RNA sequence: GCAUCGAUGGUCUAGUGGUAUGACUUUGGCCUUCCAAGCCAAUAGCCCGGGUUCAAUUCCCGGUCGAUGCACCA
């Protein structure tokens, strides 16, 4: 039987051999951190993404957008990635080791070393020993290693661009357009599924840490003071294992909590974060993650990314890698919108009307233009505008126009108190972000689905993939490749194809071998045409997991297979 | 990036200074009335670059990829 340590090798061996995942550009030597999805892998990945779409687009109503993977420098200056998404590194002049400069400083009691500039760090580590060889660091440059891939846009290498390190920024930069699309109301959200890029220093761990990877992200814009999810009740009683940072500090295991309790007890910051924790749990179980190997871990305060306020990771246990972060659910506050507003000059606020317009009394300076006009001529308008913003003194008001201070005596204006109707306010939304690593989901689903079992002294390898993500949904076999059985089987395969089912026809070799082949790629159901079919127009349908067979009429095959795949009927129902 | 080890048909592997073993898989044929049966045949391989040598898959150097440890993983 499979031991913990070699499950990865067994899973990846099947994945390679059967066309799920291949090393990229093998013929020229593959590069760490890049993979190809083969035919079955690409199919399965599409299925996983479509399950994700069912949750976020169909259930939640957040539409999908698609933005470029290359972005101009300004985007990532604003997002903070140019500055923050980098490690301060240095190279030991004695042993040549590459090291994190801030880590060296921190180990020797320098508080907040992560926030120091490169120059500061350089001087702080001057007298410290190298953690690799023990020699004093001395004169060594501290440099930023940015994890973004850099490129240039257009000829002449004039404009700097970056491959996006997350899909989120595209949604933020489309904020104003999206707000109009959703007719100027909060909350609203947009999602994006696509490639992101991070130039990892040393990627290992196969599909777990890639330099080019697929993300599925939702950015949900909510009122900053009202983080109550409109349909929170959907998941209010849903139970999820939560590993709070308090529990982590004391080394305790996660606690099962309903989402309502988690919010009421202040464990999870707000209903939105809790809602997407529960939704993520349901989604991951749907694609085939073992619920016994799934938990939600809260980020420690010092662990959070530069933009996050509260953050929970969905972690899945892998026999090879231990607990692996698959999904991050963060309350990014208004960090991103504020940054893009400041850098772009565009508006990132939403006008929220009050339920009733509020009457606000305020004082307003009304200049006597009959006096100001003739006196200041061309500058009169500017002076009047400036006065409206100013606070008048006893004798008059001083305004500054074009760098010149001008005193306007009190008799040249009136102070009018007036009631103004304020109909609402401009607020900058907060962003709730569930962010999924599709490739990691792919790996853990394959690992959790993989099983070896003894059947009549032979090892049967089977991928117990849920029908919703299995790359091939049904197999169709003639028991013998003659006597017209093959023709009937081909017709059944055609019928299934017309019903949008991915069906594989196979007539090669013994029937048992064909079942095993399909087991290994996770095909949930197999239809077999035998000699009884010619007598009574029935076929057998076989269940991958139980290996049991049920005989059903040929003309019901498509309906039954569709129901089984959609999950509206189980094989057990069929057998009963 | 450093250190150690490794890389042989699709997969797993034997072995070698003179082009390579076996099994499984795959394909074709025979046989076969439901879970990798049997028989015959076929296809297919020494990670890449350089060096030493008459000759390198084998020895040496460099690289790539992988495993392990260190470092790294917003």
Taking the CA atoms of residue A373, residue A376, residue A381 and residue A387 in that order, the dihedral angle to the nearest 10 degrees is: -100
Quote the mean pLDDT of chain A: 86
Identify the pLDDT of residue A458.
82
Q: Please determine, for residue A281, whether its predicted confidence score (pLDDT) is greater than 50.
A: yes
Find out whether A418 and A364 touch, Cβ atoms under 8 Å.
Answer: yes
Identify the pLDDT of residue A543.
96
- List strand B contacts in A 154-173 (CB < 7 A): 165-166
- Provide the β-strand partners of residue A136: A129
Which of the four pLDDT bands, split at 50, 70 and 90, describes residue A381?
Answer: confident
Identify the pLDDT of residue A114.
62
Q: What is the CA A374 to chain-centroid distance, rounded?
A: 63
Query: A53 CA to B74 C1', in Å?
Result: 27
Helix (H/G/I), strand (E/B), else coil: A472: coil
Cα radius of gyration (chain A): 31
SS3 letters for A39-69?
HHHHHHHHHHHHHHHHHHHHHCCCEECCCCC
Helix (H/G/I), strand (E/B), else coil: A576: coil
Find out whether A247 and A254 touch, Cβ atoms under 8 Å.
Answer: yes
Q: Please determine, for residue A4, whether its predicted confidence score (pLDDT) is greater than 50.
A: no
The protein residue nearest B11 (Cα–C1') is A17
Query: A311 CA to B2 C1', in Å?
Result: 34
How does pLDDT run across A55-95, given as a tens digit for each residue?
999 999 999 999 999 888 889 888 888 877 777 777 766 66
Q: Which of A185-194, A221-230, A380-389 has the lowest mean pLDDT?
A: A380-389
How does pLDDT run across A231-256, given as a tens digit for each residue?
999 999 999 999 998 898 888 899 99
Query: A2 CA to B59 C1', in Å?
Result: 39
| Residues A178-192, mean pLDDT to the nearest whole number | 92
Specify the nucleotide whose C1' lies closest to residue A529 (CA). Answer: B34
Identify the pLDDT of residue A391.
74
| Residues A291-319, mean pLDDT to the nearest whole number | 85
Q: Please determine, for residue A159, whether its predicted confidence score (pLDDT) is greater than 50.
A: yes
How does pLDDT run across A467-519, given as a tens digit for each residue?
999 999 999 999 998 889 999 999 999 999 999 999 999 998 899 999 999 99
Query: A446 CA to B18 C1', in Å?
Result: 47
Q: Say how many CA atoms lie within 13 Å of A328 toward its Cβ.
A: 20
The protein residue nearest B35 (Cα–C1') is A512
Token pair for residue A199? 């130039």
Specify the nucleotide whose C1' lies closest to residue A306 (CA). Answer: B74
- List strand B contacts in A 531-570 (CB < 7 A): 531, 539-540, 542, 547-549
pTM (2 d.p.): 0.85
CB atoms within 10 A of CB A491: 13
Q: Which of A7-21, A261-275, A303-317, A531-545 has the lowest mean pLDDT?
A: A303-317
Residue A155's H or E segment, with its range, is: none
Identify the pLDDT of residue A530.
94
| Residues A331-337, mean pLDDT to the nearest whole number | 90
Query: A40 CA to B28 C1', in Å?
Result: 26
Q: Please determine, for residue A401, whether its predicted confidence score (pLDDT) is greater than 60.
A: yes
Which of the four pLDDT bands, split at 50, 70 and 90, describes residue A132?
Answer: low
Q: Measured between alpha carbons, how far is A320 from A65 in angstroms, rounded to an integer?
A: 35
Q: Please determine, for residue A306, whether its predicted confidence score (pLDDT) is greater than 80.
A: no
How does pLDDT run across A99-111, given as a tens digit for each residue?
777 777 766 766 6
- Percent of chain A's residues with pLDDT above 70: 93
Q: Which of A166-180, A194-208, A517-531 has the lowest mean pLDDT?
A: A194-208
Identify the pLDDT of residue A120.
75
Identify the pLDDT of residue A356.
78
Q: What is the CA A362 to chain-centroid distance, rounded?
A: 47
Max mean pLDDT range (A78-82, A142-146, A169-173):
A169-173
How does pLDDT run across A512-526, given as a tens digit for each residue?
999 999 999 999 999
| Complex confidence, ipTM | 0.86
Identify the pLDDT of residue A1.
38
Query: A288 CA to B25 C1', in Å?
Result: 28
Q: Please determine, for residue A261, whether its predicted confidence score (pLDDT) is greater than 90.
A: yes
- Percent of chain A's residues with pLDDT above 90: 51
Q: Between residues A424 and A259, which one has the greater pLDDT?
A: A259
Token pair for residue A84? 């923050």
Residue closest to A368 by CA, chosen among A354, A348, A387: A387
Max mean pLDDT range (A3-12, A105-114, A270-279, A358-367):
A270-279
Which nucleotides of strand B come closer than 7 angstroms to any CB of the protein?
A: 1-2, 10-12, 25-28, 32-37, 47-48, 63-68, 70-74
Query: A29 CA to B53 C1', in Å?
Result: 28
Q: Measured between alpha carbons, how far is A22 from A37 in angstroms, rounded to an integer?
A: 6
Query: A513 CA to B41 C1', in Å?
Result: 21
How does pLDDT run across A553-566, given as a tens digit for each residue?
999 999 999 999 99
Q: Between residues A410 and A185, which one has the greater pLDDT?
A: A185
Token pair for residue A385? 């505008």
Helix (H/G/I), strand (E/B), else coil: A101: helix
- Provide the β-strand partners of residue A220: A189, A432
């Amino acid at each position: 039987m499979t031991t913990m340590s070699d499950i990865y090798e067994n899973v990846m061996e099947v994945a390679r051999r059967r066309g799920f995942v291949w090393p990229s550009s093998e013929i020229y030597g593959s590069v760490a951190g890049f993979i190809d999805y083969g035919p079955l892998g690409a199919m399965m990945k599409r299925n996983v993404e479509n399950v994700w779409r069912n949750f976020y687009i169909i259930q939640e109503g957040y539409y999908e957008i698609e933005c470029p993977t290359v972005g101009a420098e300004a985007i990532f200056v604003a997002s903070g990635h140019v500055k923050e998404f980098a490690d301060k590194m240095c190279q030991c002049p004695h042993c040549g080791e590459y090291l994190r400069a801030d880590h060296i400083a921190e180990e020797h009691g320098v508080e907040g070393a992560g926030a120091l500039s490169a120059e500061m760090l350089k001087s702080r580590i001057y007298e410290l020993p190298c953690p690799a060889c023990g020699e004093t660091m001395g004169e060594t440059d501290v440099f930023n290693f940015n994890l973004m891939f850099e490129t240039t846009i257009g000829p002449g290498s004039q404009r700097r661009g970056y491959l996006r390190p997350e899909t989120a920024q595209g949604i933020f930069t489309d904020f104003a357009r999206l707000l109009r699309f959703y007719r100027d109301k909060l909350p609203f959200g947009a999602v994006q599924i696509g490639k992101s890029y991070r130039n990892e220093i040393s990627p290992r761990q196969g599909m777990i840490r890639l330099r080019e990877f697929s993300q599925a992200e939702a950015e949900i814009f909510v009122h900053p003071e009202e983080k109550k999810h409109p349909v929170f009740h959907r998941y209010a009683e849903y139970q999820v294992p939560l590993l709070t940072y308090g529990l982590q500090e004391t080394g305790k295991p996660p606690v099962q909590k309903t989402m309502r309790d988690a919010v009421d007890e202040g464990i999870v910051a707000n209903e939105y974060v809790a809602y997407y924790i529960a939704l993520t749990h349901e989604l991951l179980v749907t694609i085939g993650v073992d619920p016994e190997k799934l938990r939600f871990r809260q980020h420690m305060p010092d662990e959070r990314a530069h933009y996050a306020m509260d953050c929970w990771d969905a972690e899945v246990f892998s026999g090879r890698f231990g607990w692996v972060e698959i999904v991050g659910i963060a309350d990014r506050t208004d960090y991103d919108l504020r940054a893009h507003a400041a850098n772009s000059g565009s508006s990132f606020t939403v006008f929220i009307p009050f339920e009733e317009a509020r009457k606000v009394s305020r004082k307003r300076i009304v200049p006597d233009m009959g006096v100001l006009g003739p006196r200041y001529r061309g500058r009169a308008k500017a002076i009047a505008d400036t006065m409206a913003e100013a606070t008048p003194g006893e004798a008059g008001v001083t305004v500054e126009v074009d760098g010149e201070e001008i005193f306007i005596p009190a008799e040249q204006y009136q102070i009018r108190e007036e009631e103004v109707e304020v109909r609402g306010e401009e607020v900058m939304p907060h962003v709730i972000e569930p962010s999924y690593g599709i490739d990691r989901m792919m790996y853990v689903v394959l690992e959790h689905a993989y099983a070896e079992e003894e059947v009549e002294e032979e090892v049967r390898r089977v991928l117990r993939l849920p029908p919703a993500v299995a790359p091939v949904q049904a197999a169709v076999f003639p028991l013998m490749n003659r006597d017209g059985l093959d023709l009937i089987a081909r017709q059944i395969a055609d019928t299934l194809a017309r019903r949008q089912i991915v069906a594989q026809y196979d007539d090669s070799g013994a029937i048992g071998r064909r079942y095993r082949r399909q087991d290994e790629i996770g095909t949930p159901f197999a239809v077999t045409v035998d000699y009884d079919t010619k007598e009574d127009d029935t076929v057998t349908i076989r269940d991958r997991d139980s290996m049991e067979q049920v005989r059903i009429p040929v003309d019901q095959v498509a309906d039954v297979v569709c129901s089984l795949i959609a999950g509206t009927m189980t094989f057990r129902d069929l057998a009963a």
